[in-house]
Amino acid sequence: MNKEEARKKIDELTDILNEHNHKYYVLDNPEITDYEYDTMLNELSNLEEKFPELMREDSPTQRVGGEALLAFTQVEHSVPMLSLSNSYNKEDLIDFDRSIRKLIGEKIEYVLEPKIDGLSVNLKYEKGKFVQGATRGNGVVGEDITRNLRTVKTIPLKLKEEIDIEVRGEVYIPREKFTKLNQIQAEKGETIFANPRNAAAGSLRQLDPKIAAKRNLNIFVFNIQRMGNISIHKHTEGFEYLRRLGFKTSNYEVCQSIEEVIDQCEKWSKKRSSLSYEIDGLVIKVNDLSQREALGTRSKSPRWAIAYKFPAEQQKTQVKDIVVQVGRTGALTPTAELEPVRVAGSVISRATLHNEDYIKEKDIRIGDTVIIEKAGDVIPAVVRVVLEERKGEEKPFEMPTTCPICNEETFRLEGEAVTRCMNAACPAQLRRGLIHFVSRDAMNIDGLGESIVTLLLENDLIKDCADLYTLKKEDLLPLERMGEKSAQNLIDAIEKSKKNDVERVIFGLGIKLVGARAAKLLADEFKSLDGLMKASEEEITAVNEIGHKMAESVVAFFKEDRNLEIVEKLRVAGVNMESLHTSNEQDENSEKKFEGLTFVLTGTLEKYKRSEAKKIIESLGGRVSGSVSKKTSYVLAGAEAGSKLDKANQLGVAVISEDEFEKMI
């Protein structure tokens, strides 16, 4: 076959296969068998191998991903990717409708779409060819994930028309594919994804496109962000045009009144579990584009649209057993072992019961039928017992009087809801304590996760956190899945952690009641671990924000011989015991320009680790909170910012980018 014949055949096969891809993945209406498709795909692949210069950009052979990237580059969106205000009941929807009518006073037609639980992306086409795909990021700047998005078979690489257009869609993993993905993860001994959204987001943010290609990602395209001279007057017309171009779009409902919208919300809420994909609500939009223009937008969200969030999905299941876990501080936490049940996108088989009082208050017994939900669609929780299904055979739960791990006596101190194992040498406390010591906010030892800590303990290589610093590469090599390179990397990471500021050591030691913020305050005040160890209860209480109970806990910790022994071993190993904050740094920051301001950090920051940004804010007198409220001064939003950004927009809290943050500091 000569080059010209090959060109014709490659063009013919590319067009035929792309058309069948569209029918199979987008229209769900295949016309040929898998064998026929694979035969043509193999023929095309062989021709492209012989004539690589003839391969087209939209070739279906390029859906498997290329070489891994070193990092994602940033993309500034030509049209901001706005987030939506949320509503949770019909009163919120009525208020939304009332505010629109107040502004434009006309008949309003609404479009209602399923709110796909996935990752929002922007797709850019030039002359009908897919040229760039980006994450939403903070709405203004996202990440270039083009190579990963090219692996999504429902994203057309070439449109039916040669136009310039940008569209917005939601990448997701269908329920069935999500279940299979987690089965594969479990078989490999890798992390199980909490829900399909996390799986989709994690897949698209892999630097190796081949990983994304294996994840069975899908997309619904729901909006035209930017277009040329296309005459579209309604959102529904835009939907139909997107379909003609070859995009996969979700179903939608047109409603002539807010009462119709409310009725549809109730219907969709009941049928959400029967869909092949996860939705966490519905999006209600004004259909007429000229009315949208008249309504305009707020700083981060449009006035012409709102998201309706479904109530937390609840399911009925049975409590098979109640087991007790022991944490790093000795706290005994009862956990319900449940008959597995699917709730809000994932199979739930366990739910924490918090403490003895929680169980008694809800009268939860082993064998009970209970209603569970995922609080915020994330954390499994037992809502109530179905008392009418109680048979009398159920067993009341009693908190153990001895630790289930070390058999030492347990205590519940007056005024506390928690029962504790007081044995500092308890293996469960040791394991949890080690996991805490190496964690990101403590000593931040890269590559030393929960599974490696467990391996080290099981092989008697360590008995406390100080023993980590005596490990040698040859100790690690016999361990499962530990090669020459990974062993050396781990030794290097442990060595690097010796140079950490003493505030990380204080936090890593796991002193009861001392969090990362308190550890920093104590390090700043006493300058060294020795200084803190010598401090009296009164001196510690004198530190701003440190209370009596915390001071009491610190003093008690350093009275224990075992704890003093560990500190001495860390010192001998060369772990830094001094504060690295010099007086010059404190002088530079003495103006405390963030005094009285509260920041919330959300999303993935590019220029700083969250811990670094937090440290800067606190050094300038500010405070970092974990949740957004009306008292929040600023939300510092990075890529993939989620519910905290939505809450900030809802409350009208100022949202700043990293660039704006840098100007402020």
Q: Which of 3, 115, 271, 615 is catalytic?
A: 115
Instruction: Give exposure, 99-135, as e/b (b: 16+ Cβ within 10 Å).
Output: ebeeebeeebbbbbbbbbbbbbbbbbbeebbbeebbb
Q: Which residues pair with 279 in a beta bridge?
A: 116
Q: What does 189-222 look like in DSSP terms, one character per residue?
A: TPPPPSSHHHHHHHHHT-SSHHHHHTT--EEEEE
User: What does the block give as tokens for 319?
Assistant: 């409590």
Q: Which residues pair with 115 in a beta bridge?
A: 281
For residues 430 and 452, what is the distance between their CA atoms, to the nearest angstrom? 14
For residues 234 and 253, what is the distance between their CA atoms, to the nearest angstrom? 13
SS3 91: helix
Catalytic site includes residue 592: no
**Strand 279-286 relative to strand 379-385, pairing:** unpaired
The residues, ordered by sequence, that sit 6+ positions from 412 with a Cβ below 8 Å of its Cβ are 356, 399, 418, 419, 420
**Strand 634-637 relative to strand 654-656, pairing:** parallel
C-alpha distances out from residue 262 to 234, 306, 358, Å = 21, 13, 36
**Strand 365-366 relative to strand 395-396, pairing:** antiparallel
Mutual angle of helices 34-50 and 3-21, in 10-degree steps = 150
User: What residues act catalytically?
Assistant: 115
